[in-house]
Amino acid sequence: MLLFILTMLLTALTQVGGVVLLCSLALANLVSAVYPWQQNLLRLGIFLLLYTLTVRVITPMLAGKSGRVPLPCFASDNEPLQPANFGYCLLMRNYVKPEVRTHLLHIARQFRQIHPGATLRYLDAGFPFLDGFPLLPHLSHSNGRKVDLAYFYQRKTGGRPVNFSPAWLGYWFYEQPSSPKENACLGRRNWLRWDFDWLQPRYAAYALDVERTRTLLTLLAADAQKILLEPHVQKKLGIQAANIRFQGCHAARHDDHIHAQW
């Protein structure tokens, strides 16, 4: 039962991690150890080695043949784009169609020209294989054409911009409505529309960097097919565009990130 749970969990989180686990156990069983703890250590070592090989070599090679490529895991001068948390690369949730990667890098370079030294940070994108395979907990992100992007922030004291996301995953630091009337889903509860009120005090030292986030949204609005955003954030940023839409009250909140798709 434990093996089944681990396999399902790794599959849900990484798409191919469950297969890697089963393969590593099969390889470990080819070698016998004197003590059980040695066998368990061997299994763990083989899994970590095989998983690293899968992330770094096997998956990028096979995904490329099936029409998906990874977004950069480390920013550079030519590619000022990276994940808000390196875990998105380790979990192989950073795959997109080649043309989406091209669009994002173009936007990232434009952004850096406007804000020198700034780096665009993405969150969940997609898995490396199979259109339609769910990227939980998202309702979409199953075709390699959708990417979540982190907001930009600054310190409340002094207004100094920061080049990182205060939230560990980049999600769940919500830009709250200025009044209850601006809450588009007031009184409407949904299991995906998390509030995480208990987390918000951890980010009290930071505020939304309106200028840089507005720049990002402007560049996206000129390029992307669709953008999902909470209405009160769009109002605060002061941008009107036909491709910026409210995702509705049945999905996760979009006042902690921007969802863009091509």
User: Looking at residue 69, what is its pLDDT?
Assistant: 98
What's the whole-number average pLDDT of the chain?
Answer: 93
> What's the rounded Cα separation, in Å, for the pair 261 and 236?
22
The encoded tokens of residue 16 equal 């191919």
Nearby residues of 64 by Cβ (< 8 Å), 6 or more positions away: none
User: Looking at residue 34, what is its pLDDT?
Assistant: 61
CA distances to 123, 206, 228 from 210, rounded to whole Å, are 19, 12, 17
pLDDT tens sequence across 32-76: 766 787 888 888 999 999 999 999 999 999 999 989 999 999 999
Q: Does the pLDDT of residue 101 top 70, yes or no?
A: yes
Listed by start position, the domains of the chain span 2-65, 70-261
SS3 257: strand
Nearby residues of 222 by Cβ (< 8 Å), 6 or more positions away: none
> What's the rounded Cα separation, in Å, for the pair 33 and 124?
40
The encoded tokens of residue 158 equal 């002094």
pTM: 0.93
Q: Out of 3.30.1380.10, 3.90.1150.10, 3.30.565.10, 3.20.20.70, which CATH number does the structure's domain 70-261 have?
A: 3.30.1380.10
Q: What is the mean pLDDT of residues 160-171?
A: 94
pLDDT tens sequence across 110-150: 999 999 999 999 999 999 999 999 999 998 899 999 999 99
pLDDT tens sequence across 72-99: 999 999 999 999 999 999 999 999 999 9
pLDDT tens sequence across 228-249: 999 999 999 999 999 999 998 8
User: Looking at residue 256, what is its pLDDT?
Assistant: 95
